């Protein structure tokens, strides 16, 4: 997968992993630790997994690294997102495509509902995450 990622993306991801430690130190949230503050609803359709993330205002969080391109939809709220292209403010309603190698640092200005849709026949969340999420930067090279 690395050959598909640009040098810019790889540089950003390395910096994002370092920034994640700073976000956590500052009281931000990452991974499943965020689910106590930002609950996730899991739904399944034929051949797809839908993940609905609901986060209150005022939360700083870091996303996981995505292995596979997929659509996302911001149904409610306003959030600032740091990506490899800089800071972006997203206001609902909004949709986009998350590309492989994406890792985001987010700050919710308002209560936010962010939905992602993933193609998979799996229904076990741990199995799905192994399929669609890179645990470390090195996992993108596989």
The predicted-structure confidence for 53-88, as pLDDT tens digits, reads as follows 999 998 888 888 899 999 999 999 999 998 777 789
Residue partners of 124: CB distance under 8 A and separation at least 6? none
Mean pLDDT score of the chain, rounded to an integer?
Answer: 82
Positive or negative, the Cα torsion across 25, 28, 29, 35?
Answer: positive
Report residue 104's pLDDT band, with 50, 70 and 90 as the boundaries.
confident
> Using CA atoms, how far apart are residues 77 and 57, in angstroms rounded to an integer?
8
> Using CA atoms, how far apart are residues 28 and 24, in angstroms rounded to an integer?
5
66 has which bridge partners? 133
Question: What pTM does this model have?
Answer: 0.78
> Using CA atoms, how far apart are residues 88 and 119, in angstroms rounded to an integer?
26
């Amino acid at each position: 997968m690395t050959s598909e990622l640009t040098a810019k993306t790889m540089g950003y991801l390395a910096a994002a992993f370092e920034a994640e430690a700073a976000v956590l130190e500052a009281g931000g949230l990452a991974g499943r630790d965020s689910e106590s503050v930002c609950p996730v609803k899991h739904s399944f359709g034929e051949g797809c997994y839908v993940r609905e993330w609901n986060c209150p205002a005022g939360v700083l969080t870091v996303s996981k690294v995505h292995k596979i391109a997929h659509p996302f939809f911001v149904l409610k709220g306003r959030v600032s997102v740091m990506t490899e292209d800089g800071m972006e403010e997203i206001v609902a309603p909004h949709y986009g495509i998350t590309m492989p190698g994406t890792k985001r640092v987010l700050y919710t200005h308002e209560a936010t509902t962010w939905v992602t849709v993933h193609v998979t026949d799996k229904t076990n969340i741990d199995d799905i995450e192994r399929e669609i999420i890179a645990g470390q930067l090195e996992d993108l090279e596989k």
